Structure 1
């Protein structure tokens, strides 16, 4: 028998919402494929919170110490800092698992992707989603037939969402934040992964409040050969957020609802969920554990299912094109 490989040493830069989710994903499972080698955040308060919740996790003095302790660095800091940390990790021979977007400057993002090679990936959890797996299987089995139209709809009671209040400074800024970058990007990745390259964009964005992120977007483009209509707005729902990704075809319709629920349209016009569908609160940690398995494979140079740097850049190109269509109204 071959010995079980030692868990991968994962370092975390950023102790906010995403960094804490990653900690929970690693520490909340037996036999995890990774271990937390170090965590750092420039905020003493954030590190104090981590110390209280996860006293056994090594906290270090700076980002360089995270890199030194790790085989792979998870970059979960605000977007403007992503590329600096990612470059430092790659220069030290580590792999990088980065939150999206890659950067706030597209020229820098393009240059980074051109030079990075294959030791990097971006955390789009739809790559590991059980709901997306159900959609993929239905599509492969012919439930949709020839695709005719994709509709993406996102709506928020307010932005940022209440659980993001601690990060509102950058999440509601037009340079780094907004729901198009934070939420719509996931559905653009899903469209790219299932249907093909994103192209032929026309879009508009509304920035009615100076110094704040967009409050509405409308766009049309293609994913492969499939026409796509995107609509997003703040204030159109009482829910923190509500979203649907709906693919219509000549043989039927499937959709992903509220991040996790895969559904098929019945003959009576209603939707029926997949038998194993679970709400996002239960689906999210499952997807993140599967993401970590991909992180191990990526770091070891093996084939993986994670979002590649090239895919993430393509998504970011579309995202930035959408929000800059409303630039005059900022």
Structure 2
């Protein structure tokens, strides 16, 4: 680590890897040292935007690069487990894209491996440090809404995969590691965990054509005192929309469009919260306990929720 900055390596330079690389270059606490992707075209496109970074020979050489303090795992979910283990075995801190994995037993094994390693580790759920999502948590936890009467998560997609995901459609459109439940609903499962604590899944109704990702899902998440009703579907030629609303006896609060808060008759402007996420990563690497990022325990809980809803 150079003074006041951390060297980061990026495993996977698809859509998420390139987005994170752009944000990292704007953050004063990080230097993009190297990147690797099995697709040469994707790697070259990413490095063209980060002239100070170098291409790694392979994934193993990247995780063992002495100039790298932390590895960001941005590969498709099927590769997360092996990538995380490689990073931990190299003695490096790890920041893994969500979902942690697409298998419950594997998620629990990774949780144990991270705990045993005692290395800095977090999973990228932007709601962990997002301005609107954290404000929603504060409002609910403060008791300002009174007793919580109900909560709903509603997701709508014009099509799946979404147009901007075309480069990753090969796996996003399939049932093994793709689908909107893993890619999008997992964020709201994480927010529910932060709002209400652990929960169980009930009354799942899943529509999934053979060999394809799901087209509709309905379920209930049952917390100790609150039930969250989930309604998500691919609905045709409409604008994509997402909304998590909590209704109490004295009012309601809603998180909409990823980063807008609707509360007391006002709706906040949308924000890009990536900088806040990277602030949290810098805090984690500096040894601060209050970094706010999603822990491996939280990420494993989300995997348990998501995969139990998608189980045959």
State how far apart, in whole Å, the 2-side matches of 1:9 and 1:314 are.
30
Q: 1:309 aligns with which of 262, 277, 296?
A: 296
State how far apart, in whole Å, the 1-side matches of 2:100 and 2:136 are.
27
| Residues 229-238 or 181-190, more deviating | 229-238
Residues 224 and 24 (structure 1 numbering): CA distance in 2 closer, same or farther, change over 3 Å? farther
In the TM superposition, 1:55-204 aligns within 5 A as 55-69=51-65, 70-117=68-115, 118=118, 119-204=120-205
SS at structure 2 position matched to 1:294: helix
State how far apart, in whole Å, the 1-side matches of 2:305 and 2:134 are.
24
TM-score, length of structure 1 as denominator length: 0.88
Q: 1:318 aligns with which of 288, 291, 305?
A: 305
State how far apart, in whole Å, the 2-side matches of 1:15 and 1:257 are.
28
**Alpha-carbon RMSD:** 1.6
Task: Name structure 2 gaps, 5 residues minimum.
Answer: none
1:140 is displaced (CA, Å) by: 4.5
1:226 is displaced (CA, Å) by: 0.8
1:138 is displaced (CA, Å) by: 2.8
SS at structure 1 position matched to 2:227: strand
State how far apart, in whole Å, the 1-side matches of 2:194 and 2:224 are.
10
Corresponding residue number in structure 2 for 1:269: none
1:278 is displaced (CA, Å) by: 2.2
State how far apart, in whole Å, the 2-side matches of 1:134 and 1:300 are.
25
| Residues 217-226 or 34-43, more deviating | 217-226
1:115 is displaced (CA, Å) by: 2.1
Task: Name structure 1 gaps, 5 residues minimum.
Answer: 267-271
| Residues 175-184 or 64-73, more deviating | 64-73
Contact residue 246 and residue 255 of structure 1 kept, 8 A: yes
SS at structure 2 position matched to 1:307: coil
Corresponding residue number in structure 2 for 1:206: 207
1:24 is displaced (CA, Å) by: 1.0
1:243 aligns with 2:230: no
1:278 aligns with 2:269: yes
4+ residue stretches of structure 1 with deviation over 6 A? Answer: none
SS at structure 2 position matched to 1:173: coil
What are the superposed Cα offsets for residues 227-276 of structure 1, whole Å, 9 maximum, x if unpaired?
Answer: 1100000025611x20000000111100001101101254xxxxx21xxx
Contact residue 121 and residue 307 of structure 1 kept, 8 A: yes
Contact residue 175 and residue 212 of structure 2 kept, 8 A: yes
In the TM superposition, 1:208-223 aligns within 5 A as 208=209, 210-223=210-223
Contact residue 26 and residue 36 of structure 1 kept, 8 A: yes
Corresponding residue number in structure 1 for 2:282: 296
State how far apart, in whole Å, the 2-side matches of 1:6 and 1:229 are.
45
Contact residue 102 and residue 303 of structure 2 kept, 8 A: no
1:306 is displaced (CA, Å) by: 0.4
Between Structure 1 and Structure 2, how many residues are aligned? 305
State how far apart, in whole Å, the 2-side matches of 1:78 and 1:187 are.
20
TM-score, length of structure 2 as denominator length: 0.93
1:12 aligns with 2:3: no
State how far apart, in whole Å, the 2-side matches of 1:258 and 1:317 are.
25
Residues 224 and 289 (structure 1 numbering): CA distance in 2 closer, same or farther, change over 3 Å? farther
Residues 205 and 265 (structure 1 numbering): CA distance in 2 closer, same or farther, change over 3 Å? farther
1:71 is displaced (CA, Å) by: 1.1
State how far apart, in whole Å, the 2-side matches of 1:169 and 1:195 are.
35
SS at structure 1 position matched to 2:54: coil
| Residues 156-165 or 100-109, more deviating | 100-109
SS at structure 2 position matched to 1:221: strand
Contact residue 155 and residue 237 of structure 1 kept, 8 A: no
SS at structure 1 position matched to 2:160: coil
Contact residue 37 and residue 66 of structure 1 kept, 8 A: no
Corresponding residue number in structure 2 for 1:254: 253
